[in-house]
Structure 1
């Protein structure tokens, strides 16, 4: 679970990246889940757009992909959303520490 500071930091990083995947009319398929899983392992932060011909809204698609890949939803805005998951092999993004 991300804190608000961590989420804000990740939103600032995601601002400069382009959407690398699209959720189309077929929705969240196993193939899309697998490719997003691999991209999260390599990049840790991915932006995905939802096409207008999709039956799912961006929030629903984000929730489905996040639960199926073990990622956290950073942001849902317009027809795009951002997912984050720390890499198990080589972490790239260092999140701000959690204060207790």
Structure 2
């Protein structure tokens, strides 16, 4: 579980990132969860964009991604979700 200070730090780190994944009409599926899990292992912090044609609510999408990837939800702002998961072999971000 992330503290408020850690979330604030991660939000500042994620500000300059571009969304890597997009959740569209198909919603969250197993293949997408696997790809996001692999990307989190490589990068630790990433943004996911929710397209306008997505049938699900953004909070539902965020909780499904957090549950599937076992990552921490940093922020949901607008149609952007920010996820963080500490990497096992490729640690780049040092939390305060």
TM bucket, shorter chain: over 0.9
The one-character-per-residue Cα deviations of 1:15-56 (angstroms, maximum 9, x if unpaired) are 000001000111101111011000000000010001111111
Stretches (4+) displaced over 6 A = none
Determine helix, strand or coil for the equivalent of 2:49: strand
TM-score by length of 2: 0.97
**Map of 2:54 onto structure 1:** 54
Determine helix, strand or coil for the equivalent of 1:93: coil
**Map of 1:6 onto structure 2:** 6
Aligned length: 96
- The whole-number CA distance in structure 1 between the counterparts of 2:43 and 2:69 is 14
RMSD after superposition: 0.7
Determine helix, strand or coil for the equivalent of 2:26: coil
TM-score by length of 1: 0.93
Q: What residue ranges of structure 2 are gaps of 5+ in the alignment? A: none
Determine helix, strand or coil for the equivalent of 2:18: coil
**Map of 2:44 onto structure 1:** 44
Q: What residue ranges of structure 1 are gaps of 5+ in the alignment? A: none
